[in-house]
């Protein structure tokens, strides 16, 4: 997985990234991880997409992906949910 | 015939609704897309066989073209599209090989303002605020200020050591990240790597520095870092294995804490 954006929030940190579900796999997801101020994972959410998180209008995080051949910007929550296990030993 | 017309109208309406639900969709394929804080996006369209690009376009939030500006052709795949604080755009590209770079400045209204050619000078050119950072072969990373009005000016350097990894705009200035191997080892996962992070003001002076060493791989693809409220930086670093990552909180020359991040694979 690749973490592409990191933000400090009131509660801790928000990490945005993208990954494949299997090594070299074609099934791609984008994800958002929330941690506390000590980096302990609090929550995780993933969506089906081959895009990457980018900073869009007003600083909002959007997913830059493709629709047909053309690049597009979509809201994270508008994408289909993906069930992905995140861990932190 | 009427049925077909209704069908086509319904299909068109569905496509429009779908596109609306998707958000902003560019009208064509693009080599680069740059979302804008005020909405819309700038992009560099593909042309012909995709060997070169020769235009910069601006679209609004509905994907409608606002302007299109011809630029000096540059070769793919290496093309950079950046934005400065005055809203102007910078297209970085190569006119032949990577040692023959052209930097083109386009105003927010789409007027070509300047075009500067570099020959065998700075590699790579990474943006940090209104600056571009480059490394001269065999020398420390060099700060260059580039904007619409001035020529390339070297700025005071904070003594950056190692390889320049990343810069990005941060507040009024920018964040700079460099790394170097301080204890080489035959096994890549046993070497010691030092990451240096700097928060720079627009004059190129370091306001905040952390320098922390860890054991593990050098490099990786995760360029995510943020100045934290503790006075240091929080960033993601590569771990001892290619697919392991750590979230690290560092201050000065100390790592305050670090947490492993696991769960998925590198695409």
More confident residue, B174 or B233: B233
Q: Is A35 in Cβ contact with B260 (below 8 Å)?
A: no
Is B217 near chain A, with CB under 8 Å?
no
Burial level of B29, CB count in 10 A (0-12/13-18/19+)?
Answer: middle
Residue B164 tokens, joined: 């320049």
Residue B122: pLDDT above 70?
A: no
- pLDDT at residue B33 in the model: 94
For residue range B53-91, list pLDDT tens digits in order. Answer: 999 999 999 999 999 999 999 998 888 999 988 899 999
> Collapsing DSSP states into helix, strand and coil, what is residue B249?
strand
Can you tell me the distance from the alpha carbon of A75 to that of B61, in angstroms, rounded to the nearest whole number?
A: 13
Can you tell me the distance from the alpha carbon of A58 to that of A40, in angstroms, rounded to the nearest whole number?
A: 28
ipTM of this complex prediction, to 2 decimal places: 0.91
Calculate what percentage of chain A has a pLDDT beyond 90.
70
Strand ranges (E), chain B: 24-25, 30-35, 41-45, 52-59, 65-83, 89-94, 100-106, 112-119, 123-128, 131-135, 141-145, 153-154, 163-170, 173-183, 192-200, 206-215, 225-227, 233-238, 245-251, 254-261
For residue range B16-34, list pLDDT tens digits in order. Answer: 444 445 589 999 999 999 9
For residue range A64-77, list pLDDT tens digits in order. Answer: 998 777 899 999 99
Can you tell me the distance from the alpha carbon of A58 to that of A10, in angstroms, rounded to the nearest whole number?
A: 19
Mean pLDDT, chain B, rounded, equals 81
If you count residue pairs, one on A and one on B, with CB atoms under 8 Å apart, how many are there? 143
Rounded to two decimals, what is the model's pTM?
0.83
More confident residue, B165 or B63: B63
CA distance B39 to chain A (A): 5
């Amino acid at each position: 997985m690749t973490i592409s954006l990191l933000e400090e929030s009131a509660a801790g940190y928000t990490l945005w990234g993208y990954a494949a579900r299997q090594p070299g796999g074609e099934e791609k997801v984008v994800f958002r991880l929330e941690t506390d101020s000590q980096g302990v994972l609090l929550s995780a959410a993933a969506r089906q997409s081959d895009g990457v998180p980018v900073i869009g209008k007003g600083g909002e995080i959007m997913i830059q992906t493709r629709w047909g051949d053309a690049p597009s910007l979509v809201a994270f929550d508008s994408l289909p949910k993906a069930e992905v296990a995140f861990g932190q030993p | 015939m009427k049925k077909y017309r209704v069908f086509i109208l319904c299909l068109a309406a569905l496509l429009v609704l779908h596109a609306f639900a998707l958000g902003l969709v560019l009208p064509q394929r693009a080599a680069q897309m740059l979302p804008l804080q005020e909405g819309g996006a700038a992009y560099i369209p593909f042309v012909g066989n995709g060997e070169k690009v020769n235009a910069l376009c601006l679209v609004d939030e509905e994907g409608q073209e606002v302007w299109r500006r011809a630029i000096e052709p540059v070769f793919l795949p290496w093309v950079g599209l950046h934005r400065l604080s005055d809203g102007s755009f910078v297209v970085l590209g190569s006119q032949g090989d990577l040692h023959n770079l052209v930097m083109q400045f386009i105003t927010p209204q789409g007027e070509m303002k300047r075009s500067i050619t570099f020959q065998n000078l700075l590699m790579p050119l990474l943006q940090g605020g209104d600056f571009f950072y480059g490394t001269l072969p065999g020398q420390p990373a060099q700060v260059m200020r580039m904007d619409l009005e001035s020529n390339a000016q070297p700025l005071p350097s904070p003594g950056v050591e190692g390889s320049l990894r990343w810069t990005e705009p941060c507040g009024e200035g920018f964040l700079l990240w460099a790394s170097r191997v301080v204890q080489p080892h035959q096994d890549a996962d046993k070497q010691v790597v030092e990451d240096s992070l700097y928060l720079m003001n627009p004059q190129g002076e370091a306001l905040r520095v952390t320098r922390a060493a860890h054991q593990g791989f050098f490099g990786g693809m995760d360029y995510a870092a943020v100045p934290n409220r503790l006075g240091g930086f929080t960033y993601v670093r590569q771990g001892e294995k290619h697919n392991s990552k750590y979230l690290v909180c560092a201050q000065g020359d100390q790592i305050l804490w670090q947490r492993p991040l696991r769960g998925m694979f590198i695409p």
